[in-house]
Chains A and B, each alone.
Chain A
């Protein structure tokens, strides 16, 4: 066990050195590292709990997505039956299904054929699943039931999440923060992490708004205040509210949409030239501009409402046709809220509302404190261990300490190579690894001592000590590895950081025990030719 060929010893030393060198970029400030070649820049990233920042987990409102999908299906059914001139009586959408009752029994087969055209195979051309987007069944008595399949719903939710991520990216990037990270999590969740953000309330405002903007005419045929009291609203209108000086003023707005936010090409914050109030100016695309021009031309003198997420922002009267394809929104804005609205309009509307299901924000001060205290704890803990091992094993203890120190350097090297995130629990993981790495050496040395007491010569005992201890070290570490791997895959956030350092630590521990510790001792044996095991 103690013999190393020259090339093998060199390979071990060079390999160890290379891994340790990977940790080097961590010791230089970012400004210096940025000038290095790309491959040398990889370094450990501090977690949000150490550098401060916001971690926000959003969930796409899948019920809204479902509702919308079923509503679209209901509209499709209506269109198909109308086009085919098939009479129907009831048409209802509930849960995942749409029910329609065909008036003439003889029309049912034709209706089924037509409606089946709505159902599409899932998964594109290569979709081998054979599943379709809608199940259509004849319930008898002229009743046809269309059910959106689970697969189609999941696919729709997936698309919504993808779209939401793109829109969120645009919104968050406008905030001008450093390296925000936006990832999908699970089926319907999005994780937004913004380092360095102290007060996430603005971010949350930006994330929480669907930002569905519509321009619609105000319904003047009925009195809004009366409708609000009696609840009697004309069928083609809906009752919305405008926040005006702390009060909520009811306004009846037509359901028909003149132009929507999708037709915007640009939105910028600015100031009204006359009143110098903050405003948002916008520009429509060609088709939107044309529609807006046409409607305003036909409705001069009537008010129209600018509606954002079912809230009226303002309802100005059309004084003259707006033909230029651009306009401005005013309405009790502050400079910041005008700016935010412009951001939201530029980024586009979310396909479905998002809710914040988890938030963790750490201030930079706490993060800094944690780093300081974590460092002190690590120094004190490691210091105690180093002294204790020296007191127990003397010279061999020194070797063990060197091996453990290199082990820790290698952990940082590997973490850097992975561009991994170091969290507070991660530091705890490293400190614990120090304990485990020491254990590997303890196992070896204790075994040497035993073998020596059993009557072996020093060299023989040292050799046997390594040979016997290594299988134990392997077994012991693999069992811990199992727990760590489980922790990594099932844990979330900070716990994963802990598991990651533990996993890396286990590998470097086994590596150093099998190679480096052995190499150091073999050098020492060759140099000193000990007559007895010195422990």
Chain B
């Protein structure tokens, strides 16, 4: 049986040379993401902005009359009202801004909406987040990302060397920044599940980086004389097949959710799809080449299993 092979055995891509393109590119994209974040900004969902979200479905599968709903709700004088079709034509998502007057006013607003729209609709979902809760959720979200980055940094520092820890952290931050940029451009709702998405993207990205770093460390021990950029290329190429296969499986499982999953996790899935691609890119083109700049070879690495240090068997076969 002929087996599928994404990466041919004799692949030898000059990853380290490409850094002259990828570093400026990543720098520019990150800058763009930051600029977008401060100009366009994120489309914060009610989790972080406070407010009310009501998902309604017209009874008997009839299409919902957006104009009618809009005119009825605008008459209620509840401030900004956003309407959005959600999946099927019968489904509509109503967003109300935070009502002035504290938590009770939020509840009153929901009651009014229910009374006004009447029995023609099923109320599939009602979410009300008060001002204090949303503030705490923001804090926890930001805190979560920082703690996660810090924890990963510490672990890599113990398990590898500081250069690896710093490299992985920069690559991870790069992914987080680009993901934030992605949210700014697409204006996908940024809510609690988005924080989960960002943290998962971080996890995957570091996961990928660690696999490559693992190999780099092994080769550093094995080929003590090889120039660093050549060694990094070798490590990259020998893990390339795995990288390709794994990211394909992750993307395949995400595609299942993208096309068939419930509407409620779509923002999560879209961000994850973006993150899966960026994570792989940053491991190969940011995390690994960064090591060149840290002067990794100038001091001896921690001693490990060295039984094969004398026989650069694979090197001749591959290069």
Binding site for B on A (CB under 8 A): 49, 57, 59, 199-201, 204, 355-363, 365-366, 369-370, 373-374, 376-385, 388-389, 391-394, 424-425, 428, 431-432, 434-436, 438-439, 442-443, 446, 449-450, 453-455, 468, 471-472, 475-480, 482-487, 490-495, 498-499, 502, 535
Tell which of B127, B133, B215, B257 has the most Cβ of chain A within 10 Å.
B257
Contact residue range for chain B? 35 or more
User: Are B152's CB and A479's CB within 8 A?
Assistant: yes
When distances are taken between beta carbons in the complex, the residues of chain A under 8 Å from B250 are 432, 435-436, 439
When distances are taken between beta carbons in the complex, the residues of chain A under 8 Å from B3 are 391-394, 535
A366, A439, A477: the one contacting B125 at CB < 8 Å is A366
Q: Which of B20-28, B69-77, B142-150 contacts A (4 or more CB under 8 A)?
A: B142-150
Inter-chain CA distance A154–B162, complex, in Å, is 44
Inter-chain CA distance A389–B245, complex, in Å, is 9
Inter-chain CA distance A373–B91, complex, in Å, is 16
How far is the CB of A52 from the nearest CB of chain B, in Å?
Answer: 9
User: Are A483's CB and B261's CB within 8 A?
Assistant: no
Which residues of chain B in 246-293 are interfacial with respect to chain A, using CB atoms and an 8 Å cutoff? 246, 248-250, 252-257, 259-262, 264-265, 268-269, 272
Q: Is B126 an interface residue (CB 8 A)?
A: yes
User: Are B55's CB and A492's CB within 8 A?
Assistant: no
When distances are taken between beta carbons in the complex, the residues of chain A under 8 Å from B156 are 479
Main secondary structure of the interface of A (DSSP, over half): helix
Having A382-B256, A442-B249, one finds 11 other A-B pairs with CB under 8 Å, namely A360-B125, A363-B125, A369-B262, A373-B262, A428-B261, A435-B246, A442-B242, A446-B245, A476-B210, A478-B155, A494-B193
User: Are A59's CB and B155's CB within 8 A?
Assistant: no
Closest to A472 in B: B214
Q: Is B211 an interface residue (CB 8 A)?
A: yes
User: Are A384's CB and B252's CB within 8 A?
Assistant: yes
Inter-chain CA distance A442–B156, complex, in Å, is 23
User: Are B103's CB and A357's CB within 8 A?
Assistant: yes
Q: Which of B178-186, B198-206, B294-302 contacts A (4 or more CB under 8 A)?
A: B198-206
Cβ-closest 7 pairs across A and B: A381-B256, A483-B203, A377-B261, A381-B253, A366-B124, A435-B250, A480-B203
User: Are A392's CB and B4's CB within 8 A?
Assistant: yes
User: Are B130's CB and A431's CB within 8 A?
Assistant: no
User: Are B196's CB and A366's CB within 8 A?
Assistant: no
When distances are taken between beta carbons in the complex, the residues of chain A under 8 Å from B239 are 446
Offer 21 A-B interface pairs, CB within 8 angstroms, sorted by A. A356-B103, A356-B106, A358-B133, A360-B125, A377-B261, A378-B256, A385-B253, A391-B4, A425-B193, A435-B246, A435-B249, A435-B252, A435-B254, A438-B249, A442-B242, A472-B214, A486-B199, A490-B141, A492-B137, A498-B200, A502-B200
Inter-chain CA distance A382–B192, complex, in Å, is 26
User: Are A479's CB and B155's CB within 8 A?
Assistant: yes
User: Are A388's CB and B57's CB within 8 A?
Assistant: no
Closest to A502 in B: B200
User: Are A483's CB and B206's CB within 8 A?
Assistant: yes
Q: Is B225 an interface residue (CB 8 A)?
A: no
Q: Is B151 an interface residue (CB 8 A)?
A: yes
A366, A446, A468, A492: the one contacting B192 at CB < 8 Å is A492
User: Are A491's CB and B192's CB within 8 A?
Assistant: yes
The answer to whether A384 and B255 touch (CB under 8 A), given A438-B249, A439-B249, is yes
How far is the CB of A205 from the nearest CB of chain B, in Å?
Answer: 10
When distances are taken between beta carbons in the complex, the residues of chain B under 8 Å from A389 are 249
Which residues of chain B in 57-91 are interfacial with respect to chain A, using CB atoms and an 8 Å cutoff? 57
The answer to whether A358 and B129 touch (CB under 8 A), given A377-B256, A435-B253, A480-B207, is yes
The answer to whether A384 and B253 touch (CB under 8 A), given A394-B1, A439-B246, is yes
Inter-chain CA distance A499–B250, complex, in Å, is 17
Inter-chain CA distance A359–B129, complex, in Å, is 6
Q: Is B42 an interface residue (CB 8 A)?
A: no
When distances are taken between beta carbons in the complex, the residues of chain B under 8 Å from A478 are 155
Inter-chain CA distance A370–B57, complex, in Å, is 14
How far is the CB of A31 from the nearest CB of chain B, in Å?
Answer: 28
User: Are A385's CB and B252's CB within 8 A?
Assistant: yes
How far is the CB of B288 from the nearest CB of chain A, in Å?
Answer: 15
How far is the CB of B148 from the nearest CB of chain A, in Å?
Answer: 4
Closest to A440 in B: B246
Inter-chain CA distance A357–B102, complex, in Å, is 9
When distances are taken between beta carbons in the complex, the residues of chain B under 8 Å from A360 are 125-128
Q: Is B241 an interface residue (CB 8 A)?
A: yes
When distances are taken between beta carbons in the complex, the residues of chain A under 8 Å from B317 are 453-455
When distances are taken between beta carbons in the complex, the residues of chain A under 8 Å from B314 are 450, 453-454
User: Are A361's CB and B203's CB within 8 A?
Assistant: no
User: Are B268's CB and A425's CB within 8 A?
Assistant: yes
Inter-chain CA distance A360–B245, complex, in Å, is 40
User: Are B200's CB and A380's CB within 8 A?
Assistant: no
How far is the CB of A200 from the nearest CB of chain B, in Å?
Answer: 8
When distances are taken between beta carbons in the complex, the residues of chain A under 8 Å from B148 are 482-483, 486-487
A393, A454, A490: the one contacting B313 at CB < 8 Å is A454
The answer to whether A355 and B103 touch (CB under 8 A), given A392-B245, A486-B147, is yes
The answer to whether A475 and B159 touch (CB under 8 A), given A442-B245, A480-B204, is yes
Inter-chain CA distance A245–B288, complex, in Å, is 77
User: Are B248's CB and A388's CB within 8 A?
Assistant: yes
A439, A471, A480, A485: the one contacting B206 at CB < 8 Å is A480
How far is the CB of B302 from the nearest CB of chain A, in Å?
Answer: 14
Q: Is B161 an interface residue (CB 8 A)?
A: no
Closest to A498 in B: B196
User: Are A357's CB and B133's CB within 8 A?
Assistant: yes
The answer to whether A495 and B152 touch (CB under 8 A), given A359-B126, A374-B262, is no
When distances are taken between beta carbons in the complex, the residues of chain A under 8 Å from B203 are 479-480, 482-484, 502
Inter-chain CA distance A476–B215, complex, in Å, is 12
Inter-chain CA distance A394–B2, complex, in Å, is 9
When distances are taken between beta carbons in the complex, the residues of chain B under 8 Å from A495 are 192-193, 195-196
A49, A374, A479: the one contacting B207 at CB < 8 Å is A479
User: Are B130's CB and A357's CB within 8 A?
Assistant: yes
Mask of B116-137 contacts with A, CB within 8 angstroms, 1/0: 0000001111111110110001
User: Are B57's CB and A365's CB within 8 A?
Assistant: yes
B122, B141, B206, B248: the one contacting A479 at CB < 8 Å is B206
User: Are A479's CB and B210's CB within 8 A?
Assistant: yes
